[in-house]
Amino acid sequence: MAGFSLHDGTNMVQCVGMKSTFTKKAKGFTLIELMVVIAILAALVGIGAPAIYSHMGLGKDAKCRAHLEQLVQMGTKYGQDLAHRAMLPTSGMDDDEETETVCETDGWWVALAPTLGKGTYTIPKEKGGDMKVSSIFHCPADSRKAIDNDSRFVATEKSVSYVSWTDGSEDPDNVNSCIRTTAKQNLDMLPWLSDGNPVKGKSVTNAETFRKMVVPAAERHSGSVMVAYASGVVKAVTIDKSNPEAQFRKLAPELANRKVKASDEDEAEEEDTEDEE
């Protein structure tokens, strides 16, 4: 009786009642087929990579915004202290004479960090020592200095990612004086903190300090910087590098319209001279 049998694993088909048998060889991918598959995978990677990188960038933007929102909450708490009289700390502010080991004049973060509470900052035991602060003082897109996001880091002008601004009206003799949230000004138009590269003892006070301290940080967020206003609002602002002065006036009209004292002009000239040297 005619029939056939299939032997698994051998690819052998035997025809019963016939004189011959035949073997079907397993067929693999040809070189051309492999090249086609590789080309398709490469195309998919090319399409997906920008989206992945964009998502990563958006993640850093969101984290930076969250950091500033936390700092704004701390600023509010700082100002609620009767000793601070509704003020937001700035770099260059008057130093608290009761502080023995750190100087608030050096950086706004020195004054604000203790608002976080114990365990989130470390004040040096000896004068001039390194102060350590929480990672919320650092923007994850700031490439100047890498930090460990899970622990405190040494706070310096190179590691802190945000600069303070001032309206210059609290203390006429100190251009870096604190912003007072009870002042009769539009707090929605008064930046307090923003992405930037801090300078020891200085806040953003004019177009020149804006150009030096804030504009370089625009690379962190694809041409924008995160800005926290004295009112508590935090938003991204696109930076026009071609005209920093006009950008400064648009971003901080209250500060731009402040009367410039002769001492301010002298200070700006000194900074320009240092840059030329």
At 55 the pLDDT is 42
At 108 the pLDDT is 95
Q: pTM for the complete prediction?
A: 0.74
Which regions of the chain are under pLDDT 70? 1-29, 45-58, 97-98, 149-150, 259-277
Domain total of the chain: 1
At 47 the pLDDT is 67
pLDDT in tens, 23-70: 555 566 688 878 888 888 877 766 655 544 444 445 889 999 999 999
Would residue 8 count as lying in a domain? no
At 259 the pLDDT is 58
Would residue 16 count as lying in a domain? no
CA dihedral 99, 100, 106, 107 (to 10 degrees): -50
Would residue 91 count as lying in a domain? yes
Query: Using CA atoms, how far apart are residues 225 and 218, in angstroms rounded to an integer?
Result: 5
Beta bridge partners of residue 15, listed in sequence order: 4
Q: Is 173 exposed, middle or buried (0-12, 13-18, 19+ CB in 10 A)?
A: exposed
At 185 the pLDDT is 78
Query: Using CA atoms, how far apart are residues 201 and 241, in angstroms rounded to an integer?
Result: 25
Would residue 258 count as lying in a domain? yes
At 130 the pLDDT is 85
Would residue 14 count as lying in a domain? no
The residue range of the domain holding 36 is 32-276
